Amino acid sequence: MNLLYGIGFAAALLIALVMTPLVRRFAFWAKAVDAPNHRKVHSRIMPRLGGLAIFIAFIGAYFIVSPAIDTLKADVVFGLLVGGTIVVLVGALDDRFDLSPKIKLLGQILAASVVVYSGVTIDLVNVPFGDETISLSWLAVPLTIFWIVGVTNAINLIDGLDGLSAGVSAIATTTILVLALMMGNVTVVLLCTLLLGSIIGFLFYNFHPAKIFMGDSGALFLGFTLATLSVLGFKQATVVSLLVPIMILGVPLSDTFFAIMRRWVNNLPISAADKSHLHHCLLRMGFSHRTTVLIIYGIATFFGFSAVLLSYMSEQQALWGAVILVAVLLVVLVVGAEFIGIISRTKRPVLHFLNKIRMKTMQRMTK
């Protein structure tokens, strides 16, 4: 089985390496390009549609190795492939024609509905510090669709620097892969292996200085696939298993949360675009393009490590560990967000409060 995983990874990697230059030429021919403007970091016209190379590598490698594995959940994989095809098509059309947000959202909901129809849903919630289990019943469907659509858009939002979205997705994929190996989930292990190979192959051309962007076709596909894989791996939503996929996707989800808060504080529509995402803030602080991406890779790795650590704990340890870890992460996230100005460059209530405490402490010490 390990040999098949290795063959799948190598096949996906090689297909992505071969297909990405071809897709790059096709993007120029189809005029699916990204022109620089006041919101963009790049300064020259760049081809989009890179997601097609990732998708082709993923699909191609799957059909190479899947016939040799008879323990795959065929209906689930079918739902993922069909849903993935839908989001890639929607993303590719947006890369070329700039679709309206409503049309893109409808496409994402349709793709998520296909996955849910194939049997992928969040079914149960366990009450914290108790043995009672609550069935989500009809809420399972809208909750799962909300999760898939939310994560899909979160990955799309962080796609602002060369190699950023692809690298963060690769780290998240690796984390899910490690957890799936721990649980012996053959379907998730194979899909993660193929996705990781596809992303790494594409990253050869996408890391700074990029020769091609993944575009919405890539960002939507990666977000959609990661959201689906996280549900596949953690269908029963205990406190811990709910936190694990959230931690795995901590960078895109926290950046999305701060973007919503930033627009709310500044009385702007939630859909309004700006240049205050995490990567923008780090660039303003003086970090180079490459260093900014590597810093965010480090943050994503920390979130992934935390998710694996939680999963290694016993149930009782994990409950208390989750409480402590979430409390620490919230403090770090809030203080860090205010320090770099991701919500507001002027409104920093927590930092001001901490500074007042520091000043009073110093005054007492000098008396």
Q: Report which DSSP code applies to 99.
A: -
Does the annotation flag 156 for ligand binding? yes
Q: Which of 152, 97, 123 is nearest to 232 (CA)?
A: 123
Q: Are 224 and 84 in contact (CB under 8 A)?
A: yes
235 φ, ψ to 5°? -70, -35
CA distances from 109 to 104, 112, 169, 306 (A): 9, 5, 21, 30
Which residue type, as a one-letter code, is found at position 189? V
- For 167-228, give the DSSP string: HHHHHHHHHHHHHHHHHT-HHHHHHHHHHHHHHHHHHHHHSSSPS---HHHHHHHHHHHHHH
Which residue type, as a one-letter code, is found at position 219? A
CA distances from 15 to 3, 21, 32, 207 (A): 18, 11, 21, 18
Bridge-partner residues for 106, per DSSP? none
- The C-alpha atoms of residue 275 and residue 266 are separated, in whole angstroms, by 13
Q: What is the largest CA-CA distance in the chain?
A: 78
Does the annotation flag 216 for ligand binding? yes
Neighbour-count burial for 126-156, b at 16+ CB within 10 Å, e otherwise: beeeeeeeeebeeebbebbbebbbbbbbbbb
Q: Which of 111, 228, 104 is nearest to 172 (CA)?
A: 228
Residues 6+ apart with CB under 8 A from 176: 188, 192, 226, 229, 230, 233, 245, 248
Q: Which of 253, 240, 288, 104 is nearest to 168 (CA)?
A: 253
Q: Are 271 and 101 in contact (CB under 8 A)?
A: yes
As annotated, the binding site for Mg(2+) includes: 156, 216
As annotated, the binding site includes: 156, 216
